[in-house]
Amino acid sequence: MPTKLTGAQRTQALAGLSGWRDVEGRDAITKAYRFADFNAAFAFMTRAALMAEKMDHHPEWLNVYNRVEVTLSTHDAGGLTELDVKLAAFMDSVATGG
Ligand SMILES: C[C@H](O)[C@H](O)[C@H]1CNC2=NC(N)=NC(=O)C2=N1
């Protein structure tokens, strides 16, 4: 199991990401993506889902039309790990609508 990122290690890992913020009250990060339409949003979710399954690391997310709100945390570790940072970076790389 990956280890929880803490302190400077956590700060440094998050410095490489943009648009992600800490969730209040728990050790997790969140980002709201907005796409051109539902089709683009769902295409993003499909790509992210395939990667999540490959990594055996799954997002908490909510989709409303062209909006996808993602929260990442490693439940098994009780907080943020490298897996969350890796999945966040992948999501950013496939999000065309930002
Ligand atoms: C059994 C399975 O490997 C685990 O439950 C995996 C599945 N996906 C997961 N996803 C996330 N986000 N955190 C986990 O701890 C986690 N654990």
Q: Provide the residue ranges of all domains of the chain, joining segments of one domain with +.
A: 36-97
Q: Nearest to residue 32, comparing CAs of 59, 74, 53, 63?
A: 63
With 70 as the cut, is the pLDDT of residue 87 above it?
yes
Q: Nearest to residue 59, comparing CAs of 73, 42, 78?
A: 73
Instruction: Enter the pTM of the model.
Output: 0.96
Task: State yes or no: ipTM above 0.85.
Answer: yes
Ligand 1 centroid to residue 42 C-alpha, Å:
22
Would you state the pLDDT for residue 96? 74
Quick one: which atom of ligand 1 is closest to the CA of 87? Answer: 12
Each residue's pLDDT tens digit, 14-72: 999 999 999 999 999 999 999 999 999 999 999 999 999 999 999 999 999 999 999 99
CATH T-level assignment (fold) for domain 36-97: Gyrase A; domain 2 (3.30.1360)
Ligand 1 centroid to residue 47 C-alpha, Å:
18
